[in-house]
Structure 1
């Protein structure tokens, strides 16, 4: 079991939104106990000297082995949250992305590895089902409302 805690400072991250109809590709987020806590779009930290656009393309290349195309301008969200008792603070640049034709065609679940070597899983979730009773939460908090207002 991998225990993750937020960084002690503000982090700048870039996330990519990939859609299959009304289904959003998101990676599973777990509590220390192993219980599924929620899901979050794929992406990661913007490195010093790197643009957010470059970071989201790099993250998908590293995690899924594909080159995504960014569609449109980013949306920015400030996210202050608590995970397992630790405070986190991040600024997020969120982009719509498209996959190369046939990438993950027919797959509903994707296994990948983080930089740390931890195996992770992502799948396409129906937006309307997230944040509901007994369903995973969509992180960052407030993203679902933002997406519903734009779609």
Structure 2
């Protein structure tokens, strides 16, 4: 079933650094009209009616990855206006950071979407300027690159 993009959606997404703080976990998504090479997206999803964005990210990570979030920290809000196969979308994203228990494998990891489809996950470098595959929501790119202290704090708690 296609997603109704006729209204602003509220989402919660998680920046998940690896143990040394050099990479973070993202889902690998299929090509679109705007991104013929596909795109990467932070882990997370829509906030459901009656739940907080904090409750939503905990639920989404459990549903998609079967994991628990450790040291969950709210980082801020990001507004994302975009096109997906020519259709305009608009979302407000509550951005969090934290680590996962258990942590996904270095390679071959997957997540399960709400429709039952299985999507690969990969560890994307924080220093991603040379990658051609974009990261969404786009508003997180500058934030992630300008906030290494948050990444370092979460990586330090696991060493």
TM-score range, shorter chain: 0.7 to 0.9
**Larger relative strand fraction:** 1
Q: Runs ≥4 in structure 1, deviation > 4 angstroms?
A: 3-6, 32-35
Are residues 6 and 97 of structure 1, via their aligned partners in 2, closer, same or farther at CA, if it must alter by over 3 Å? farther
Q: TM-score normalised to the size of structure 1?
A: 0.85
State whether structure 2 residue 61 is matched by structure 1 residue 60.
Answer: yes
Q: CA deviation digits over 1:98-148, x for unaligned, max 9?
A: 112x533x533312221111110111111222x535x21111113121111
Higher RCO, 1 or 2 (CA under 8 Å, sep at least 6)? 2
Structure 1 alignment gaps of length 5 or more: none
1:147 aligned residue (131, 144, 148): 144
Unaligned runs of 5+ in 2: 149-159
RMSD of Structure 2 on Structure 1 (CA): 2.2
Cα drift, residue 22 of structure 1: 1.6
CA distance in 1, matches of 2:89, 2:15: 22
